[in-house]
Amino acid sequence: MAASLRLRGAASGLWYWSRRPRPAADLAPLRGVLLCSRSMASKTPVGFIGLGNMGNPMAKNLMKHGYPLIIYDVFPDACKEFQEAGEQVVSSPADVAEKADRIITMLPTSINTVEVYSGVNGILKKVKKGSLLIDSSTIDPAVSKELAKEVEKMGAVFMDAPVSGGVGAARSGNLTFMVGGVEEEFAAAQELLGCMGSNVVYCGAVGTGQAAKICNNMLLAISMIGTAEAMNLGIRLGLDPKLLAKILNMSSGRCWSSDTYNPVPGVMDGVPSANNYQGGFGTTLMAKDLGLAQDSATSTKSPIILGSLAHQLYRMMCAKGYSKKDFSSVFQFLREEETF
């Protein structure tokens, strides 16, 4: 098992946990590999709500670490492989809360998250005192703070823990978690989050995890657009895209969008651009996250000139048929659109 390290910066008060990345493991059969030293029987069930592109592999990594799961997703088909693997599938978030005192939610939007927690069949209808509720959705920090207040009234604990790293990192268990909440609960959250991520960082009070994620995704959008523009320009100037990517990745223009998630088809394997931009992180979700950044910038009177332009571009992409494609399809959009 990979060595782990947990540190606290004396000056900054920053808690974080990290380990060296481990190679991606075969997920079939899901019950076949236990990576933790404690037996599965010694672990209480963990609730998991939201089995989309990210939630599915995250839940599988909890299983691989020996945690029995109580599963719910609004789309029943998303639960089938978990049910076939022996996990318990229930019919509502409230049922999850009734059967598990540690719950992770991974949902698309603030509206979805509020419904799962506070809706007519939401978690708060049956949550038990002392439960730990971890929301890994990317939502408005203000919504996280309001949910934390409602959860506290029920005698439970709420922490926001959005993620970064994409589907590939979710599959390999190498996500980065940005955690906001009561510091005394961080160790309990890290026990679960460390099964799904190689970096678990304590950011501060509830909402600070979301704040960090919003800043990260705004920068990601800007860098992806910049990479797409540079690659498109180079190709039109006669450069081979693989050669250009190689040069960028050994030069000062190197970034995650160029060396890990290149938006140009044929430059690298295993990324959405190699699969007609299917899977990955949807354009609609990126537009949503940029909207959160725009709202936060307005409320704090922070200028985000490039962030605002990125928001406009991704909204335009959604209106022109790219909403279901990965956000790296901005390269395809720039290649096909001649309206700029």
Q: Is the dihedral of CA 35, 203, 311, 140 positive or negative?
A: positive
Strand 15-19 versus strand 197-204 pairing type: antiparallel
Residue 54 assigned ligand-binding role: yes
Residue 261 assigned ligand-binding role: no
Residue 53 assigned ligand-binding role: yes
Q: Which of 125, 149, 213, 325 is catalytic?
A: 213
Residue 56 assigned ligand-binding role: yes
Residue 76 assigned ligand-binding role: no
Count CB atoms within 10 A of the CB of residue 335: 16
Tokens representing residue 58 in the block: 């995250």
Residues pairing with 164 in the sheet: 176
Residue 301 assigned ligand-binding role: no
Residue 52 assigned ligand-binding role: yes
Residue by residue, DSSP assigns 292-332 as HHHHHHHHHT---HHHHHHHHHHHHHHHTT-TTSBGGGHHH
Question: What DSSP element (H or E) covers 62?
Answer: helix 55-64
Cα-flanking dihedrals φ and ψ of residue 161, to 5°? -145, 65
Please give the radius of gyration of the chain, using alpha carbons only, rounded to the nearest integer: 20
Residue 16 assigned ligand-binding role: no
Residue 112 assigned ligand-binding role: yes
Range 62-84 burial, b when 16+ CB lie within 10 A, else e: bbbbbbbbbbbbbeeebbebbee
The reply to whether 324 belongs to the active site is no
Residue 311 assigned ligand-binding role: no
Residue 244 assigned ligand-binding role: no
Residues 6+ apart with CB under 8 A from 29: 85
d(CA 322, CA 340): 17
Residue 138 assigned ligand-binding role: yes
Residue 72 assigned ligand-binding role: yes
Residue 277 assigned ligand-binding role: no
Tell me the catalytic residues.
213
Where is the binding site for NAD(+), in residues? 44-72, 107-108, 112, 138, 288
Where is the binding site, in residues? 44-72, 107-108, 112, 138, 288
